[in-house]
Amino acid sequence: MIEFWLAALSLTIFLYVLLDGFDLGVGILFAFSRTERCKAHMLRAVSPVWDGNETWLIISAAILFGAFPMIYALLLGAFYIPLILLLCGLILRGVAFEFREKSRRLRPAWDAGFALGSTVATFMQGCTVGALAQGLPNIDGRFTGGLFFWASPFALLCGVGLCLGYSLAGAAWLVFKAEDDLRDRSYGQVKWLLVGVLLFLVAAFMFALRLDLRVMTRWIERPILSLCPLIGAVGVIAILLGLYRRTDYLPFTGAVLLFIAAFGTLGLSFLPYMVPFSITYVQAAAPPSSLSFLFWFAGIFVLPLTLVYTLVTYAIFHGKVGEEDGYQ
């Protein structure tokens, strides 16, 4: 049961990062769009799926609460401010997404809210991951750090890096889904955002070495980690081929491989710890009776149904989205 729920948590977090990542990236890029025609086209490219993508965040939180309550309590105490800002960003983004469609006079304000909410939500996620990689000060599962421990230079750098990564995924999605001017414009954004992501990875690697983060020792202890950069390299090649050949599906495929490489690197670096390097997933797990109780409902029904719902949604709304297609 413990391993099942750890795998389920890993899957749901990855699906959230990947799926909500590209539509948050579209929201960040929304700030750089100047015409209403382009903005409407961008929203049509994500409107059928964006709210369903956020379902995976809720499921991840529910699994933490039920299966790993110690980690849930520790993370809430440690990341109270960034989590509140994350939720505020997601709420602002969702409200702005719907209200701008009906508003005329206040549409610029809702446009700004959509871009701001997407950026804040993404930046807070990156800061949280960066702070976790540095280590979470705690004693027996009780947070002992300061109020703004998550705002270290390395964590802030990770926040900027995730904004670049989500933006790259968003631009690649627009290449994949959009047509005409927006597609061509997104090709140019993919090129520069790929450069930005690669520069961030180099900077983060050098910063981690300078800080002598303990996660860096995992590269020596676990040679299998070397597979992750190889997957990332394949992703970069796919993006470059897509840019060169103007093959619309390749940039997004490459972005997916980059996220797989990044997620795999973090996962393999952390295991068996859920909070490096103090609490393992076995120590953090709920009692076996609780895990079994959750399995017979959430494990058998909720997870598979949500996965099927996601697959069906993407299957139904496959293909290009034109400029004149209606709001979904």
Q: What is the pLDDT of residue 328?
A: 44
Helix (H, G, I), strand (E, B) or coil at 48: coil
Q: What is the pLDDT of residue 262?
A: 92
Q: What is the pLDDT of residue 87?
A: 94
Q: What is the pLDDT along the chain (328 residues), one digit of tens a residue?
A: 889 999 999 999 999 999 999 999 999 999 898 888 888 889 988 888 888 888 999 999 999 999 999 999 999 888 999 999 999 999 999 899 889 888 788 888 999 999 999 999 999 999 999 999 888 888 888 888 888 889 999 999 999 999 999 999 999 999 999 888 889 999 999 999 999 999 999 999 899 888 888 888 887 788 888 899 999 999 999 999 999 999 999 999 999 999 999 999 988 888 888 888 888 899 889 998 889 888 888 888 889 999 999 999 899 888 888 766 654 4
* Inter-axis angle of helices 80-102 and 69-78, nearest 10: 80
Question: Which alpha helices (H) appear in 47-152, and where do they start and end?
Answer: 50-53, 55-67, 69-78, 80-102, 107-134
Q: What is the pLDDT of residue 214?
A: 81
Task: Count Cα atoms within 13 angstroms, Cβ side, for 107.
Answer: 11
Other beta carbons within 10 Å of 270: 18
283-309 burial, b if ≥16 CB within 10 A, otherwise e? bbbbeeeebeebbeebbeeebeebeee
Q: Which residues contact 168 (CB under 8 A, 6 or more apart)?
A: 25, 190, 193, 194, 196, 197, 255, 258
Q: What is the pLDDT of residue 13?
A: 93
Q: What is the pLDDT of residue 257?
A: 96
Global pTM value: 0.93
- How far apart CA 67 and CA 288 sit, in angstroms, is 9
Residue-range domains of the chain with CATH:
2-294 (1.20.1630)
